[in-house]
Amino acid sequence: MQRNFTFMKNTIEMVAIPSKIKAWRLHGYGLKNLKLDTIDTPELKPHEVLVKVGAVSLNYRDKGTMDGELGEVNFPLIPVADASGRIVRTGPDVKNFEPGDRVMSHLWSHWLDGEATPDDHKYLLGSALQGGLAEYMVLESQSMIKVPEFFTDEEACTFPTAGLSPWYALVDYGNLKAGETILVQGSGGVSVFGIQIAKIFGAKAIATTSSDAKAETLRALGADEVINYVAKPDWVRETLLLTRGKGVDHLVEVVGGDGLNDSLKAVKHNGQISLIGFLLSQKASIDLIPLMVKQVKLQGIAVGHLKALGEMVNAFAESAVKPVIEKVYNFDQAIEAYEHLAKGSLGKIVIKVT
């Protein structure tokens, strides 16, 4: 067992770093192949840091990775990209972080700013690279940001994917302005973050959901209007009524499939549809005439870069807005957390590691 000095709350504490750690690893596709293993504590390269993981959050892409829907991975794999915790050791070339700093990970670990490159997918945490569902994880010092003290680890770990995706769609691509209207589908993590982003920018938020109980919760979180698509299946008509026939400026699309045609009807002329998820299907048959006539911008979103993550987290902290977490599971309850993910949630599902 090795020991490192770390700085915490203006005091120096001796932190014992074990030679062996617990890590959930995927040994094949499917939840039945997720096992809690004991492995060697990972070694650091000069530009890397060792993070004692505090918490991780689950995203739909984590289920897709587990089910083999997002391309091949090398087994055994420590899954889950979104993690937060405290640095306990740094490599000799690390200059911008030090032991004791609280940090959060970034899914696209090599996409730091500007346009993504064709090779960036080779450095995705939790799929191409080992993820954070472990007691300790290694991160490149260029690939993380510091966590504002306003957020707990459980809160901080929810930002990197579910928060950054709608932020990058609405703010970086969409140039969201006060007074504009967005529509989010459902009540998952991406959609709830979308509502919160709208409120930070002074925009109006419309949400769709399947129950009156969820509708009340979404209103309490800031949704200006909520459409129960079970009680009123023609949610497009309801959207047009709420916008006086104009349609919404921005639509955060997480359903995918042929439902994109309904989204084309619900968005305004020259509006933007941000394609973030594909809960219904990865394939769609789109009516091109409305897309062309309305001159709608259909924008694919693959989360966002590190710079945008920092801007988003700071904006939430400055606005005193906390992420919405439906349930926090213990580290030994990872299987139950994934089962919860498959059923859906209102807000985020988090696993507390340490």
Contacts of 47 (CB under 8 A, 6+ apart): 91, 93, 94, 140, 141, 142
Distance CA(86)–CA(353), nearest Å, equals 12
Of 160, 164, 165, 197, nearest to 180 by C-alpha is 197
Tell me: do 106 and 178 sit in the same domain.
no
Enumerate the β-bridge partners of residue 57: 82, 350
Is 317 contained in some domain? no
Arithmetic mean of pLDDT over the chain? 93
Tell me: do 288 and 330 sit in the same domain.
no
Is 227 contained in some domain? yes
Mean pLDDT of the region 12-35: 88
- Domain assignment of residue 89, given as a range: 2-158+323-352
Tell me: do 256 and 283 sit in the same domain.
yes
Q: pTM of the entire structure?
A: 0.91
Tell me: do 21 and 154 sit in the same domain.
yes
Residue-wise pLDDT tens digits, 275-314: 998 767 777 788 898 889 899 999 999 999 999 999 999 9
Per-residue burial over 188-199, b if 16 or more Cβ lie within 10 Å, else e, is bbbbbbbbbbbb
Q: How many domains does the chain have?
A: 2
Is 314 contained in some domain? no
CATH number at residue 142: 3.90.180.10
Tell me: do 281 and 330 sit in the same domain.
no
241 φ, ψ (degrees, to nearest 5): -65, -40
Which two three-digit tokens encode residue 317?
């902290």
Residue-wise pLDDT tens digits, 230-271: 999 999 999 999 999 999 999 999 988 888 899 999 999 999
CATH number at residue 285: 3.40.50.720
Distance CA(96)–CA(308), nearest Å, equals 18
